[in-house]
Each structure stands twice: as structure tokens, then as C-alpha cells.
Amino acid sequence: MEKKQFLGEFSLLDYNISHKVLLFRKSSNTEENQNIDLVFEGTFYLEVPTKLKNIIVYQADEETTNKVIKRYGGMFYPEYSQVIFVIESGTALYYIGCIRLLITENSLNLLTSSIK
């Protein structure tokens, strides 16, 4: 995955425990009312605050993945598409381990989850 940059503030909006789906949303302040949702599916590791501002998201390289997995201490299965995503916010780095990241736009109400 190439690096994707998003300006503005993202907030943790929802987490579905049974399906391990995590949702961060950047709400729109424009008349078009388009939100940007970052949906992390099959989440198995979280090292991230509940609010993020002006972020860059990308898949971790092998060295970073190994460092995170060592901290995680659990089982890691790249053969089942498990990956570590890095979120840069200012000078801070945060990590989410999951199977897939979906980036979507929608016009849902601010507090309406897009997780099904």
C-alpha cells in the first residue's frame, strides 16, 4: 500500500468486538458532507489514541513489523494476510495490526457507524 495522507482530525467512532472491526472517521465540515472512514478489519493489535490529526497511513516495512510483533507477543500470521499499518500524526507513530484496511467516503450522520 502506498502512503495515503489525510488532513483534519480523525476520531475513533466504533469497534465491533465480535468481528474485530475498528472505525476511525474524519467528519466533513463542508457542504458536501462527505466523511472519510478508515475501517480496519480483523484487528488484532492496537497502539493508537482515540483522536488523530493530519495523518499518513501506510503498511509497515519488515523491520517495523518485526518490532511491533515482538511487543505484541502474540501469534502473527502473514500467510493469512495479517499486516501492520503505521499511522503518522505529527512526529508520533502509531500501529494497528489487522487483515485489511478499507478507506471509504460517505455522507452518514456524524455518529452513525459504517460498520455493518
45 Cβ partners below 8 Å, 6+ apart? 68, 72, 74, 84, 95, 96, 97, 98
Q: pLDDT digit string (tens) for 3-23?
A: 999 999 999 999 999 999 999
46 contacts: CB under 8 Å, gap ≥ 6: 22, 95, 96, 97
Grid cell 466533513 is found at 28
Q: For residue 38, give the amino acid letter.
A: L
Mean pLDDT across 88-95:
97
The pLDDT score that the predictor gives to residue 30 is 64
Give the helix ranges, DSSP H, for 28-100.
62-72
Residue 32 scores a pLDDT above 70? no
pTM as predicted: 0.91
CB atoms inside a 10 Å sphere around CB 82: 18
Predicted local confidence at residue 68, as pLDDT: 94
pLDDT tens profile 35-87 = 999 999 999 999 999 999 999 999 999 999 999 999 988 788 888 899 999 99
The span from the CA of 29 to the CA of 102, in Å, is: 22
Q: Tell me, what's the pLDDT at 33? A: 78
